[in-house]
C-alpha cells in the first residue's frame, strides 16, 4: 500500500480544492509555461472558443518572437509547442474540428520562423511539426472543409517546405482529400512542375558554388528546389492513386540509374505483379562493383523480384553472395528463414565460420555482437587481436563492456588496443579514457587464469611504463584514479 506522502492523484485529492489551488498558484509563480498551462485548463472549463483564443494568442506570440533559440532552449520550446499541440488535439478537436484545423495549420506555419532562428541539431523540433501533420490529416477528415479547398491549403504548404516540416503531409491528408482533392492537388503540382522546368534561371544572380558545368547561381537552385518539391508531391499522389507508371514517369534520366531509386520503383512494380519489369529496372541500375558500401534496399528488392519470378534458388544464391560480400545481417536472416527446419542451423554455422575469416576484423566483430554471437566474438578477438585498431573506440568500448564478465581476456585485449593507440599516437585528449581502461584491465586481470600468448597485466603495465613513461598527462590521469 502506497504511503500517504507518495505523490499520486489520490493522495493529492485529500488536500482539498482550496489547498491545491493555492499550491498551483505558488508553483506557477515565475514559470510562464506553468501559467499558460493553467490558463488553458481554465479556458477549457468555459468554452472551446476560449481555448482557441488562448492558443491563437500564444501561437501569435511565438510567431513574432525574434530571439535566437540555442540548443539549451530547444527542450523548453519543444515542451511549449507540445503543450499547444496537445491542447488543439485534446480540447478543440472533439468540440470544434473546423477551429482545430485552422489552429493546427497556424501551428504548422510556425516552422519557418522557428527554424530560421534556432539551433536544433537533434531534430526534436521538426518531430513536433511532423506530429502536427498527422493531427492535421485526422482533424481535416472530421472538419467541414471541402476536399478542393483542403488541396489548396496542402499545395501552399508544400511550396514552403524548406525545412521538411511538411514531409508527411500528403500521406496523412489522403483520407481527407478523397478523389476530388487528390485530383485538384495533382493538377496544381503538375502545373508547378511544368513551371519549374520551363523557368530559365537568371544568370545575373549571386554565384553560390561551382559544378562541372560551371557556376551555380542562386536562382538556379531555387528552380531546382521547386522541381524536386513538385516531383516529390506528385510521387506521393501517384502512390495514393496506386499509379506505378505515373511514379516512374516522374523520375529523371539520372534518377533512373540510381540503385536506390530503382529499388523504390521495383517495390511498387512488385506490388502490382510486374516482377519482370521490376528485375529489369533493378539490373539497369546495378551498383558499381567497387562500391564501398552495399545498397541494401536494391539487393533485398532484387532478391524479392527473383523470388516473385519463381526463381527462388537464384534468389537464395543472390542473398548468400550479398551476405558474403558485406556481412549484412538482413541478407542472412532472409536466407535462413526460407530454409527447411534444421537446414537453417547448418547454414547459420557455415555463415558464422565465414565471418571469422572476413577481411575486416572490425566488421566481423560488429556482426558477431549484433547477431548476437558472443562466443564467436570472443574467439575472433583472441585469434586476430593484432589486427584490431584501437582508434575504433565507438565499437571497442561497448564490445569490451559486453564481454568483460564472461570473456575478460577478450575485453582486456580490446581495452589494451585503445590504450596503445592513444599513447602511441600521443592523443592526449584520450588519456583520461585510456587511464580508465587501464584500471579496468587491472580489475579484469583478477578473473583471468591464463593469458595464453598475451602478456599478463603486470608485464603489460611494465611495458607501458618503459615505452611511454614520458607522457605525464597519461600517468597523472592514472594516479588520480587510485
Q: Where along the chain do its domains lie?
A: 31-145, 359-482
d(CA 354, CA 352): 5
Cα distance between residue 84 and residue 59, in whole Å:
8
**Average pLDDT in the 12-17 region?**
67
Over the stretch 40-81, which tens digit does the pLDDT of each residue have? 565 555 666 787 888 899 899 899 999 998 888 898 899 899
Residues 6+ apart with CB under 8 A from 280: none
Omega into 372 within 30° of 0, i.e. cis? yes
Per-residue pLDDT tens digits for 359-393: 999 999 999 999 999 999 999 999 999 999 999 99
Q: What is the pLDDT averaged over residues 14-27? A: 65
By mean pLDDT, which of 36-50, 291-305, 330-344 is the weakest?
36-50
State the pLDDT confidence band at 120, using cuts at 50, 70 and 90. confident
**CA of 157: how far to CAs of 96, 115, 164, 363, in Å?**
23, 16, 11, 44
Query: What is each CA distance from 164 to 93, 111, 125, 126, 157, in whole angstroms?
Result: 25, 9, 11, 8, 11
Closest Cα to residue 472, out of 438, 437, 441, 435? 435
Burial level of 101, CB count in 10 A (0-12/13-18/19+)?
buried
Lowest mean pLDDT among 110-124, 222-236, 365-379: 222-236
Q: Distance between CA 447 and CA 450 in Å, rounded?
A: 9
Residue 198: predicted pLDDT: 79
More confident of the two residues 201 and 411 = 411
CB 419, CB 464: distance < 8 Å = yes
For 207, the 3-state DSSP assignment is strand
Distance CA 184, CA 151 (A): 6
The per-residue pLDDT for 210 is 56
Is pLDDT at 1 greater than 50 in this prediction? Answer: no
Pairing of strands 207-211, 214-217: antiparallel
Higher-confidence position of 160 and 374: 374
Mean pLDDT for 185-194 is: 94
Element containing residue 20 per DSSP (H, E): helix 17-28
Are 122 and 78 within 8 A, CB to CB? no
Residue-wise pLDDT for 433-447, tens only, equals 999 999 999 999 999
pLDDT for res 123:
86
User: Comparing 271 with 13, which gets the higher pLDDT?
Assistant: 271
pLDDT for 275 beyond 90: yes
pLDDT above 90 as % of the chain: 71
Q: What average pLDDT score do residues 300-322 get?
A: 98
Express each pLDDT in 318-329 by its tens digit.
999 999 999 999
Task: State the pLDDT at residue 36.
Answer: 62
Q: What is the mean pLDDT of the chain?
A: 89
Return the CA Rg of the chain: 30
Does the pLDDT value for residue 284 go beyond 70? yes
Amino acid at each position: 500500500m502506497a504511503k500517504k506522502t507518495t505523490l499520486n492523484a489520490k493522495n493529492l485529492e485529500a488536500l482539498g480544492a482550496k489547498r491545491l489551488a493555492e499550491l498551483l498558484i505558488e508553483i506557477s509563480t515565475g514559470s510562464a509555461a506553468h501559467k499558460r498551462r493553467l490558463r488553458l485548463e481554465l479556458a477549457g472549463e468555459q468554452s472551446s472558443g476560449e481555448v482557441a483564443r488562448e492558443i491563437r494568442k500564444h501561437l501569435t506570440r511565438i510567431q513574432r518572437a525574434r530571439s535566437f533559440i540555442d540548443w539549451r532552449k530547444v527542450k523548453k520550446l519543444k515542451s511549449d509547442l507540445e503543450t499547444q499541440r496537445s491542447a488543439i488535439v485534446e480540447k478543440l478537436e472533439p468540440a470544434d474540428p473546423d477551429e482545430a484545423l485552422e489552429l493546427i495549420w497556424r501551428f504548422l506555419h510556425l516552422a519557418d520562423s522557428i527554424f530560421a532562428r534556432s539551433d536544433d541539431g537533434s531534430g526534436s523540433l521538426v518531430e513536433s511539426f511532423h506530429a502536427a501533420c498527422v493531427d492535421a490529416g485526422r482533424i481535416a477528415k472530421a472538419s467541414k472543409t471541402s476536399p478542393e479547398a483542403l488541396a489548396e491549403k496542402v499545395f501552399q504548404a508544400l511550396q514552403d517546405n524548406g525545412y521538411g516540416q511538411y514531409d508527411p503531409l500528403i500521406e496523412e491528408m489522403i483520407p481527407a482529400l478523397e478523389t476530388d482533392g487528390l485530383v485538384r492537388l495533382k493538377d496544381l503540382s503538375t502545373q508547378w512542375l511544368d513551371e519549374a522546368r520551363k523557368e530559365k534561371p537568371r544568370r545575373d544572380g549571386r554565384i553560390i558554388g561551382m559544378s562541372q558545368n560551371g557556376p551555380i547561381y542562386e536562382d538556379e537552385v531555387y528552380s531546382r528546389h521547386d522541381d524536386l518539391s513538385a516531383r516529390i508531391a506528385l510521387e506521393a499522389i501517384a502512390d495514393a492513386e496506386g499509379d506505378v507508371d505515373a511514379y516512374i514517369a516522374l523520375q529523371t534520366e539520372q534518377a533512373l540509374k540510381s540503385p536506390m531509386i530503382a529499388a523504390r520503383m521495383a517495390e511498387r512494380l512488385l506490388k502490382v505483379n510486374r516482377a519482370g519489369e521490376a528485375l529489369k529496372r533493378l539490373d539497369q541500375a546495378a551498383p558499381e562493383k567497387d562500391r564501398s558500401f552495399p545498397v541494401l534496399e536494391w539487393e533485398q528488392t532484387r532478391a524479392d523480384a527473383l523470388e516473385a519470378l519463381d526463381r527462388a534458388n537464384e534468389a537464395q544464391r543472390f542473398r548468400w553472395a550479398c551476405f558474403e560480400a558485406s556481412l549484412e545481417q538482413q541478407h542472412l536472416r532472409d536466407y535462413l528463414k526460407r530454409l527447411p527446419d534444421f537446414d537453417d542451423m547448418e547454414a547459420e554455422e557455415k555463415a558464422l565460420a565465414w565471418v571469422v575469416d572476413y577481411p575486416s576484423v572490425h566488421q566481423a566483430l560488429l556482426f558477431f555482437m549484433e547477431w548476437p554471437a558472443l562466443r564467436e566474438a570472443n574467439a575472433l578477438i583472441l585469434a586476430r587481436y593484432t589486427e584490431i585498431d584501437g582508434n575504433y573506440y565507438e565499437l571497442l568500448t561497448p564490445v569490451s563492456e559486453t564481454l568483460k564478465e564472461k570473456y575478460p581476456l577478450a575485453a582486456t585485449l580490446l581495452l589494451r588496443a585503445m590504450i596503445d593507440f592513444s599513447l602511441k599516437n600521443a592523443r592526449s585528449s584520450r588519456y583520461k579514457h585510456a587511464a580508465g581502461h587501464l584500471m579496468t584491465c587491472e580489475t579484469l586481470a583478477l578473473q583471468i587464469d591464463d593469458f595464453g600468448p598475451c602478456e599478463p597485466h603486470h608485464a603489460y603495465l611494465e611495458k607501458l611504463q618503459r615505452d611511454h613513461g614520458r607522457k605525464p598527462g597519461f600517468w597523472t590521469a592514472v594516479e588520480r584514479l587510485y
